[in-house]
Amino acid sequence: MTATTLTERRELASRTFDGIEVTLFWTQATDRVTVAVHDSHIDETLEFDVAGRDALDAFHHPYAHAATRRSLPLATSCGPTA
């Protein structure tokens, strides 16, 4: 087994609907699971880590999971503070 094989991500599932592509990845070397969402209408991609036990749900509902993952950082970095 080579070093590139250990760091390579594997695509576990993928789906496309109305210009939105959702892909579930797993990296063996780190046992990291990620969900990537690409919106071809605006050519933007977001990717986030997800716990293995939540992987399938995050694959089917990526925006709900992305919002919970990003809600704290966005709330602290957006807008003026009182």
Q: Mind listing the pLDDT tens digit for each residue in 32-78? A: 999 999 999 999 999 999 999 999 999 999 999 988 764 333 223 33
Whether this prediction's pTM lies above 0.75 is answered by no
Q: From the centroid of its chain, how far is CA 16? A: 15
**Host domain of residue 15:** 3-72
Beta bridge mates, 32: 27
Please write the tens of the pLDDT for every residue from 15-34: 999 999 999 999 999 999 99
Residue 13 lies in a domain: yes
Residue 24 lies in a domain: yes
Q: Give me the CATH number covering residue 42.
A: 3.10.450
Residue 53 lies in a domain: yes
Residue 14 lies in a domain: yes
39, containing H or E segment: strand 32-39
Beta bridge mates, 14: 23
Residue 57 lies in a domain: yes
Residue 66 lies in a domain: yes
Residue 32 lies in a domain: yes
Neighbours of 24 (CB within 10 A): 21
Counting the structural domains of the chain, the total is 1
Distant-in-sequence, close-in-space partners of 11: CB < 8 Å, separation ≥ 6: 23, 24, 25
